[in-house]
Amino acid sequence: MPMQPAPTDRRALQTENLNVYYRDNHALKDANLIFARNEITALIGASGCGKSTFLRCLNLMNRQIPHCRIEGRILFEGTDINTADEDVYKVRRHIGMVFQRPNPFYKSIYDNIAFAPRQHGIRDKAELDELVESSLRQAALWKEVSGKLDTTALALSGGQQQRLCIARALALKPEVLLLDEPCSALDPRSTRYIESLLTELKDAYTMVIVTHNLQQAWRIADRTAFFLLGEVVEYNATTALFTEPVDTRTSDYLSGRFG
């Protein structure tokens, strides 16, 4: 596989020979990818090619699917987390996830953000207040909601709800943020807003984003991996992958989608 790995000293996450099976459907084949700290990596490819499957492996979410088998190594800061005794709640504290459809809880804005920290034992009101404010600020939502933290999150617009979901993920102070097509339910304006937010968050987080929007990968991702039928065909710096793809399957996909 043509691949330009991330610098050794900046590896936040890495998969080695990762294979996923749903019963006899071999949905992910020998995925070897490295994600560098403080970078955005985009996963692109046609629907059904295993992008979400791969992403869900990274914070052990596929473990909830009974007929799913995951083989290979998932190294987080150098340690394999794909082991039977790994604590999934601990992993998800370090590796957060944002989904395709904004899915705020049926709770106030404040309680949406405070929910997970409370579950992890934070009870101090001042500490929670601070976490709620800093998370909302990081997600570029604070100015819009600071005066109505007690109102329901469901009254927010779609774009605001997605930023709330990002704030909710940030409240646990993770190192890595996984995003599965986070803008696909949003209008172009909200999409651009989230894109610039993610670019700002790079200073503090490592991000892996699944997107069906090639322009989005081009705009925000440092590296891009192209998936086809469960296989990572090519992985490189975004500019190189888009302008000088090595594998003809990559160029076919890119020209088909652009041309």
Ligand X SMILES: Nc1ncnc2c1ncn2[C@@H]1O[C@H](COP(=O)(O)OP(=O)(O)O)[C@@H](O)[C@H]1O
Nearer to Mg ion, 52 or 135 (CB): 52
Comparison of 31 and 139: residue with beta carbon closer to ligand X: 31
For the CB of residue 43, give the shortest distance to Mg ion in the complex, in Å.
Answer: 9
* 54 vs 110, beta carbon nearer Mg ion: 54
Work out how close the CB of 221 gets to ligand X at its nearest, in angstroms, rounded to a whole number: 16
Task: Report in angstroms how near the CB of residue 234 gets to ligand X at its nearest.
Answer: 16
Partner that binds at residue 102, options Mg ion, ligand X, none, CB closer than 5 to 8 Å by kind: none
Q: Which amino acid is at 48?
A: G
Q: Which is nearer to ligand X, 24 or 85 (CB)?
A: 24
Q: Taking CB within 5 to 8 Å according to partner kind, which of ligand X, Mg ion, none is near residue 96? A: none
- Near Mg ion by CB under 5 A: residue from 14, 52, 62, 162: 52
Minimum distance from CB of 28 to ligand X (Å)? 7
Sites for ligand X among residues 27-86 (CB under 6 A): 27, 45, 47-53, 65
Q: Please say which residue, 39 or 231, places its beta carbon nearer to ligand X.
A: 231
219 binds, options Mg ion, ligand X, none, Cβ within 5 to 8 A by partner type: none
50 binds, among ligand X, Mg ion, none (CB under 5 to 8 A by kind): ligand X
- How many binding residues for Mg ion (CB under 5 A)? 1
What radius of gyration, in Å, describes the C-alpha atoms of the chain? 18
* Residue 164: both structure tokens together: 């709330």
> Min. distance of Cβ 181 from ligand X in angstroms?
8
- Alpha-carbon span 51 to 211, nearest angstrom: 9
Extract the tokens encoding 219. Answer: 């705009």
First-residue to last-residue Cα distance in the chain: 25
Q: Which of 178, 146, 175, 176 is nearest to 160 (CA)?
A: 146
CA dihedral 18, 21, 26, 29 (to 10 degrees): 0
> Using CA atoms, how far apart are residues 180 and 218, in angstroms rounded to an integer?
16
Among ligand X, Mg ion, none, the one that 27 touches (CB under a kind-dependent 5 to 8 A) is: ligand X
211 scored as a contact of Mg ion (CB under 5 A): no
Residues binding ligand X: what is the number (CB under 6 A)?
Answer: 12
The contact set with Mg ion (CB under 5 A) reads: 52
The contact set with ligand X (CB under 6 A) reads: 22, 25, 27, 45, 47-53, 65
